[in-house]
Structure 1
Amino acid sequence: MKMNINKSSFRINPVLLKELRVKMRGWRAPILIGVYNLVLTLLTILFLKTVMNRGAMNAEQVFITYGFMSAAQFGLISLIAPALTAGAISGEREKQTLDILLSTTLKHRSIILGKLFASLSHIILLILSSIPIFSIIFLFGGIGISELLQTFLFYIVLAITLGSIGLFFSTFIKKSTAANVLSYALIVFLFIGTLLITVFYVQLVIQPTLLNKSYDQTFWLMYLNPAASFVTLLVSQFGVSGQSIFPGFYISGSSQNMWAINIVIDLVLSILLLTACSYKLNPARRKFSIDKKYDELHKDDVSEDNDK
């Protein structure tokens, strides 16, 4: 008996396959991975040496070391992810290959997703390749596999969200430089702008209405802040009160699951941004817009011919 296998179920996104072949063929990918892990390893060794010079490792020092390693990787991902996707579509437009790509039988959604995951493949490789470095913390105990999986899940969702932001501006902006600038501007707003707006709004609007009481709730805008959500993840893993870590930043001690809510918000934001990119890149929509403009331009000519 012959078994019929649907080959289409094993088909890889052509854009993703092409981008991976091009990017992984050169020296850029291994050099990036090597330098990234070298920087992370040196920072970890330097911090471990500083901590161990103060005496034997205890539970508090283990948590501090793990927090430092996690924060270092969080910062590196936040810096690298937008730059990898901000030129994905605008770069094709600058090389005048975008129209060729749109003339293929690929769906616009496939083009967007292929570009996103091809660009983020470097980030995913960086995250996975850093697992041996993080395994150093297992020698001292205190941090288990579940905590490490939570942290790496947050990293991947963060990379997808920041990559979607870069891809969004790359689709709507013609120049890669402008797309990079706008991508980082929006990310700075998510990291710092939301915090500043929260502090000023609570101090100037909410706090005067509470008389002598202090505001001890988590302001809704802080759920959009990836950095604050990442800190609550570490705080929940350490079993420390969030309010003692973030005094004055309006994150209540009961917001231990703030990082999980931020993951959901980031995924929804990513879906919205990618949908907008697909709509903008849709060849059928562009053709309809061009035909409509053509009809409007020649409407007067048609009316003059009818009068004659």
Structure 2
Amino acid sequence: MTKTTLINPILRKDALVNARSPKMIIVVTMINCLFAIIASVAFAMSFGSGYQAYYSYIVKLFPILGGCELAIICMVLPVMTATSIAGERERQTLEIMLTTPVRSFSIIAGKLASAMVTTFMYVVATLPFLAVSFVVGGLGWKSLFEFIGIVLYVDIYIGSFGMFYSCVRKTSVSATISTIITVVAIVLISYLAGRVMISAMYMTASVEAFKFYQAGIRTIYALNPFLWIFEFADQTFYADSLLPSLEKAGGYTVFMSDYMTWISVIFNLTVAVVMLKLASAKLRSGNRRKILSKKEFDL
């Protein structure tokens, strides 16, 4: 009788391996040391003359530390995901994995989930530093859950490209470089395209052209995978906006502005699912000939 489990077998295997690896302890310790230095500087700056304290410096710990956390995840995640399948191929264990009854998409999802669990361990390890802002009173539970949601979104989006290139590229190095270049190119091209349209918008004298540029800017920025995160942080902590005002804006522009976060998340998560599906198809088709040739050789 076959024993079923709700936990992805690939995730369970990688979780056990990562739990025994000293790399996790080293990385968590380095992140905590970095956060401790930032928190110490914030506390040192918060004390004025006498017993006066400026709590605004402490409240700003959350966006600063949260930004550092996301930056670390964006640097580490491409390496973890891009080397997952490519690393199995380099260790010559991929063909053995593909002979198991585990489906291709389950393998891809398990590898991605393993990387996501690792990044969430970084978040959990640094929660005491993030909690300082809650003690001071500048933030609430809503901000914490929103930050966790952002981490989850970043994991899925960047991880999907890492998994795709890990199946397409033959080496871990090329897969990692391709992942970083692709994500950075998508972010920069969409952002620069929006800036060009903003410059053109303020140079035009036509009302219709002004409205057209307004709609185009909102659309391009909504498709940018990370710009909504900066817009969300800017509005939450500084009550400001990265986007131009809605002067002379039409109904479509107002709609895109009001629902920019949801539109961006839904669109880019759809892109991530497509990338994972492509990775799953490439994983099985790219190694089918090798598996068949080995079976024929054994016969």
Q: Same fold (TM over 0.5)?
A: yes
Q: Report how far residue 207 of structure 1 moved.
A: 5.1
Q: Report how far residue 28 of structure 1 moved.
A: 1.2
For residues 234 and 168 of structure 2, the distance between their equivalents in structure 1, rounded to whole angstroms, comes to 38
| Residue aligning to 2:231 | 232
1:120–1:159: 8 Å Cα contact kept in structure 2? yes
* Counterpart residue identity of residue 26, structure 1: S
* Counterpart residue identity of residue 278, structure 1: S
1:232–1:258: 8 Å Cα contact kept in structure 2? no
* Counterpart residue identity of residue 16, structure 2: R
**Is the aligned partner of 1:65 residue 2:41?**
no
| Residue aligning to 1:142 | 138
Q: Report how far residue 157 of structure 1 moved.
A: 1.3
* Counterpart residue identity of residue 56, structure 1: A
| Residue aligning to 2:45 | 50
- Which deviations, in whole Å up to 9, do the C-alpha atoms of 1:189-239 show, x marking residues without a partner? 233222112212443489536369695554312123344211222234337
* 2:179 equivalent among 183, 189, 192: 183
Q: Report how far residue 266 of structure 1 moved.
A: 3.0
For residues 154 and 269 of structure 1, the distance between their equivalents in structure 2, rounded to whole angstroms, comes to 16
Secondary structure at the aligned position of 1:12 is classed as coil
For residues 74 and 143 of structure 2, the distance between their equivalents in structure 1, rounded to whole angstroms, comes to 20
**Is the aligned partner of 1:79 residue 2:81?**
no
Cα distance change on mapping 1:182 and 1:285 into 2, 3 Å: closer
1:57–1:140: 8 Å Cα contact kept in structure 2? no
Q: Report how far residue 53 of structure 1 moved.
A: 4.6
Cα distance change on mapping 1:264 and 1:90 into 2, 3 Å: same
| Residue aligning to 2:32 | 37
* 1:131 equivalent among 118, 127, 130: 127
**Structure 1, unpaired ranges of 5+:** 1-5, 292-308
Cα distance change on mapping 1:77 and 1:238 into 2, 3 Å: same
TM-score scaled by length of structure 2: 0.81
For residues 181 and 209 of structure 1, the distance between their equivalents in structure 2, rounded to whole angstroms, comes to 44
Secondary structure at the aligned position of 2:257 is classed as coil
Q: Report how far residue 63 of structure 1 moved.
A: 4.9
For residues 206 and 96 of structure 1, the distance between their equivalents in structure 2, rounded to whole angstroms, comes to 57
Q: Report how far residue 70 of structure 1 moved.
A: 1.8
* Counterpart residue identity of residue 231, structure 1: F
Cα distance change on mapping 1:42 and 1:266 into 2, 3 Å: farther
Q: CA RMSD in A?
A: 3.2
| Residue aligning to 2:297 | none
Cα distance change on mapping 1:186 and 1:52 into 2, 3 Å: farther
Q: Report how far residue 56 of structure 1 moved.
A: 2.6
Secondary structure at the aligned position of 1:106 is classed as coil
Cα distance change on mapping 1:207 and 1:89 into 2, 3 Å: farther
| Residue aligning to 1:274 | 276
**Is the aligned partner of 1:195 residue 2:191?**
yes
Counterparts of 1:1-308 in structure 2, within 5 Å, are: 8=4, 10-53=5-48, 56-58=53-55, 61=57, 63-204=59-200, 208=204, 210=206, 218-238=217-237, 240-242=239-241, 245=242, 255=257, 257-282=259-284, 286=288
Aligned length: 279
1:170–1:179: 8 Å Cα contact kept in structure 2? yes
TM-score scaled by length of structure 1: 0.78
1:90–1:175: 8 Å Cα contact kept in structure 2? yes
For residues 172 and 32 of structure 1, the distance between their equivalents in structure 2, rounded to whole angstroms, comes to 28
- Which deviations, in whole Å up to 9, do the C-alpha atoms of 1:138-175 show, x marking residues without a partner? 12112100111111111111112111111111111111
1:169–1:179: 8 Å Cα contact kept in structure 2? yes
